[in-house]
Amino acid sequence: TEVVCGRMYEELLHANWIHASSAVVTREVLGEVGGFDEAIRIGGEDLDLWLRIAQRYPVLCVDRVLSGYRHRSESLSGPDGSTRSMRVSRMFLKVLEKHVQQRWILEEYRGIVNKEISRRYWALGWNSFGENRFAEARRCLIQGIRYQPLRGQHWLYLCASFLPMTVIEAVRRFLRWRRSVRL
């Protein structure tokens, strides 16, 4: 069994790999950082707590299966896919933006957090653009630009979202053709 101990805060800014069913936290630590924030839904309450703990304390991680759970298509732990990925991105955004608003992000991690938030807004915007939900895509892309103003793909797709549907479909056909020629 591999055991890793140390500061895991930065790793948790990218992915929630701590499962609540197998986590152990002392009462003293919970008293200091607070418990689960019940205002956060869709699975983010645990990430919020782990970030608050990992910011102050080292984390001991046992790389071993310690619990199991049932997969359901509607749950965050359900099968991989676009819907699950979008739910996870929304959850991450809610938690990270809460930490930014509360000024809990240490200065040394500000750039990492801004990049992660922008990346997740990009994923949501790109997904919405692909499903022709352009107003929603614009909202996500604009939010991503707030966190990384110089990220070109946000600007490109934001501008493209205002094009007529006939132009967007023509570009998509061209890109599909170009990919098929490369194969």
Please write the tens of the pLDDT for every residue from 40-70.
876 789 999 999 999 999 998 888 777 776 7
> What is the pLDDT confidence band of residue 102, given thresholds at 50, 70 and 90?
very high
Instruction: Annotate the chain with DSSP letters as a single string.
Output: -EEEEE--HHHHTT-----GGG----HHHHHHH----TT--TTHHHHHHHHHHHHHS-EEEEES--------TTSTTS--SHHHHHHHHHHHHHHHHHHHHTT-S-GGGHHHHHHHHHHHHHHHHHHHHHTT-HHHHHHHHHHHHHH-TT-HHHHHHHHHTTS-HHHHHHHHHHHHHHHHHH-
What is the rounded distance in angstroms from the CA atom of residue 182 to the CA atom of residue 77?
Answer: 36
pLDDT at 74: 62
Calculate the average pLDDT of the chain: 89
pLDDT score at 141: 97
pTM of the model: 0.84
For residues 65 and 123, the model is more confident at 123
The residue-averaged pLDDT of 129-141 equals 97
Give the CA distances from residue 126 to residues 10, 104, 155, in Å, rounded to whole numbers and listed in that order: 25, 29, 12
- Give 7-29 pLDDT, tens digit per residue: 899 999 998 888 888 889 999 99
